[in-house]
């Protein structure tokens, strides 16, 4: 026979087991931490930025495009000077990366995009975001060998460029010239070069 102390100890043990189960269940239901965005490899201190740009190699333009669109998304809908801390950080990072690109690679993809971007109205920024989404969908469709769908998405990405880009983004070719909006860049150039 179990005495009062035994029953109390059994109740405490059951409550402790229940608490452990509740904590374990809560942890299992927590969302997994989000993977950092690909451009995070460029979010380094200034003294490491040149190395990060060089290490990006041929993927630099894609990383830049993703950073550029992330900043556009962060300010999307903002029609005044009030922006979030995250948007301000991304703009500062864009400026730093553009300087490092010029110093290390001798190219000006970032600085050209930033200059043109300052002329855009909020609606034109939103068009650029739409273009980046369309290009991403085109890349996915092309990877799945859905060429008609990819073609449709790439055309949508090209047509999503803001009017202020029209003069600086003539017919795309396989040249090394980067479109002014940058966020719809290398995949569309490859698509435009195909017969």
Q: How far apart are CA 153 and CA 135, in angstroms?
A: 6
For the chain, the structural domain boundaries read 38-193
Task: Judge whether 160 and 134 are in contact, CB under 8 Å.
Answer: yes
Q: How far apart are CA 180 and CA 178, in angstroms?
A: 6
Burial group, residue 71, by CB count within 10 angstroms (0-12, 13-18, 19+): buried
Q: What are phi and psi of 30, to 5 degrees?
A: -65, 140
pLDDT tens column, 142-187: 999 998 998 998 888 888 776 655 544 443 333 333 344 444 455 5
pLDDT tens column, 70-106: 999 888 766 555 678 888 999 999 999 999 999 999 9
Reported pTM: 0.66
């Amino acid at each position: 026979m179990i005495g009062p102390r035994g029953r109390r100890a059994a109740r405490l043990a059951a409550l402790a087991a229940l608490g452990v189960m509740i904590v374990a269940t809560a942890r299992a239901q927590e969302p997994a931490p989000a993977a950092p965005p690909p451009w995070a490899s460029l979010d380094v201190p200034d003294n490491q930025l040149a190395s990060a740009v060089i290490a990006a190699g041929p993927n630099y333009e894609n990383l830049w495009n993703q950073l550029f669109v992330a900043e556009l998304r962060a300010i999307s809908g903002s029609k005044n000077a009030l922006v979030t801390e995250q948007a301000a950080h991304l703009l500062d990072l864009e400026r730093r990366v553009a300087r490092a690109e010029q110093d290390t690679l001798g190219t000006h993809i970032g600085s050209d995009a930033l200059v043109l971007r300052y002329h855009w109205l909020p609606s034109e920024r939103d068009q650029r975001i739409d273009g980046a989404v369309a290009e991403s969908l085109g890349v996915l469709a092309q990877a799945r060998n859905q060429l008609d769908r990819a073609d449709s998405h790439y055309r949508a990405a090209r047509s999503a460029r803001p009017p202020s880009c029209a003069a600086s983004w003539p017919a795309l070719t396989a040249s090394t010239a980067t479109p002014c909006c940058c966020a719809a860049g290398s995949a569309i150039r490859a698509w435009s070069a195909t017969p």
